Amino acid sequence: MTVTGQEITDYVGRVRAALADLPPALRDELTEDLPEHLAEVAAEGDGSLVQRLGEPEVYAAELRAAAGAGERAAGSRSLESRIATVVGQARGRLARVDARLGPLLGYASAGEFLRLLRPAWWVLRGYLAALLLGVLSSNGHVSVLPRLGHSVVAGVVLLVASVLGSIWLGRNTGMLKRWSRLVMHAATGVLVVFGTVVLVQADERANWDSPYGYDTVSVGNPYEQVQDVYVYDSEGQLVENARLFDQNGTPIRLGWPACDDPALPEVNPVQRGYPYCPEQAPFRPRPPVAVPAVPGGAPTPGAPTHTATPTADPTTGAAPTTGAAPTEPATGATPTPGAPAAGDPAPTAPPRTR
């Protein structure tokens, strides 16, 4: 028997839809035996019901005439029957597309191919149902293996039961009553939406987890906050128009000319040397006070500025660490002022006035 219960159900549904303009009692009387009758027809030979009996709408017209139920009144067709006509036409069109797509897949019709995939869908549906129950029982936590109240074992039992149940439902859909079938279809719709959401979420999470995403390069870059670069020579002198290069000769660009007067003609910052804003140099070789104010976040104070402060504050002199942070990227291109300048107890360079 090549005709399934579902096919009979669909066929009867379309016949009933085509008879929608009849009084409900008469329509029920005419079609109450139809499923059994079609099952007999189906048992007698091969081919689909449509192949053997014609389109359900034609069948309905013939049935209507034979049963003496009266011709369909063309002018006063009910909304329901007009919808049925549209649905019937759409189905016909779908059937043609179905037949045309089939050969591309290597089957007589796309539907034939999709029917082969039905059991796979049943299994997937069971899995999704178990997953949904698992998510509901664990406060929205989604895991690949469903968990029932955080228990994997219970989750697996649920999964097996759910998949078996879904397969059983799939095989026995034709036996279900009309309303239970509606409930099943509605639940299936919910599962499809749920499955889509889970898939999208899993996809997003997978993208986040990839360790070397394009954007992560700048994360943790210590020079992110650098706005300008000040180079000091071994004498504690601020070097102007310094250019920084890396080991490959590639210019190192840090910061931006934030202090430029907007009225001046613009110069391509790439072609300019550091510092962009010499007036804002953090360390000034000027005599007045011992330790100049250091802007927040600037490196260890002191070292290069000792040039102009013979009063030699012992604490700063004792911690001459580097003072090289602003010029660190300059290695290779300019001398590092930090170490030698800090080690020099009495810098002699004259203060530069600017």
Rounded to the nearest whole angstrom, what is the least distance from the CB of residue 115 to other proteins in the complex?
21
Decide: is 19 part of the binding site for other proteins (CB under 8 A).
no
Rounded to the nearest whole angstrom, what is the least distance from the CB of residue 54 to other proteins in the complex?
8
Decide: is 40 part of the binding site for other proteins (CB under 8 A).
yes
Rounded to the nearest whole angstrom, what is the least distance from the CB of residue 8 to other proteins in the complex?
9
Decide: is 59 part of the binding site for other proteins (CB under 8 A).
yes
Q: Which residue has the tokens 């879904």?
A: 166
Decide: is 41 part of the binding site for other proteins (CB under 8 A).
yes
Q: Which residues contact 165 (CB under 8 A, 6 or more apart)?
A: 126, 129
CA nearest to 337, candidates 353, 349, 323:
323
Rounded to the nearest whole angstrom, what is the least distance from the CB of residue 123 to other proteins in the complex?
29
Rounded to the nearest whole angstrom, what is the least distance from the CB of residue 36 to other proteins in the complex?
6
CA nearest to 115, candidates 67, 60, 170:
170
Q: Which of 42, 159, 242, 281 binds other proteins (CB under 8 A)?
A: 42
Angstrom distance (rounded) from CA 341 to CA 304:
6
How many other C-beta atoms lie within 10 A of the C-beta of residue 318? 7
Rounded to the nearest whole angstrom, what is the least distance from the CB of residue 172 to other proteins in the complex?
15
H helices of the chain, in order, are 5-18, 24-31, 34-43, 49-53, 56-66, 79-105, 110-116, 118-137, 152-171, 178-209, 314-318, 338-343
Q: Which of 6, 67, 99, 184 binds other proteins (CB under 8 A)?
A: 67
Q: Which of 2, 23, 36, 259 binds other proteins (CB under 8 A)?
A: 36
Angstrom distance (rounded) from CA 347 to CA 309:
9
Rounded to the nearest whole angstrom, what is the least distance from the CB of residue 69 to other proteins in the complex?
8
Which residue lies nearer to other proteins by CB, 62 or 313? 62
Peptide bond into 275 cis (omega under 30): yes
Decide: is 25 part of the binding site for other proteins (CB under 8 A).
no
Angstrom distance (rounded) from CA 20 to CA 81:
5
Of the candidate spans 47-55, 71-79, 130-138, 247-255, the one that interacts with other proteins by CB under 8 A turns out to be 47-55
Decide: is 63 part of the binding site for other proteins (CB under 8 A).
yes
Rounded to the nearest whole angstrom, what is the least distance from the CB of residue 15 to other proteins in the complex?
8
Which residue lies nearer to other proteins by CB, 27 or 284? 27
How many other C-beta atoms lie within 10 A of the C-beta of residue 281? 21
Q: Which residue has the tokens 């080991």?
A: 247
CA nearest to 337, candidates 223, 258, 262, 231:
231
Decide: is 44 part of the binding site for other proteins (CB under 8 A).
yes
Which residue lies nearer to other proteins by CB, 4 or 227? 4
Q: How many residues bind other proteins (CB under 8 A)?
A: 28
| Amino acid code (one letter) for 172 | N
Angstrom distance (rounded) from CA 179 to CA 182:
5
Scanning residues 69 to 98, which ones bind other proteins (CB under 8 A)?
69
Rounded to the nearest whole angstrom, what is the least distance from the CB of residue 40 to other proteins in the complex?
4
CA nearest to 83, candidates 7, 144, 16, 141:
16
Decide: is 135 part of the binding site for other proteins (CB under 8 A).
no
Q: Which residues contact 133 (CB under 8 A, 6 or more apart)?
A: 146, 148, 158, 162
Q: Which of 53, 184, 298, 339 binds other proteins (CB under 8 A)?
A: 53
Decide: is 176 part of the binding site for other proteins (CB under 8 A).
no
Which residues contact other proteins (rule: CB under 8 A)? Answer: 1, 29-30, 33-34, 36-37, 39-44, 52-54, 58-69
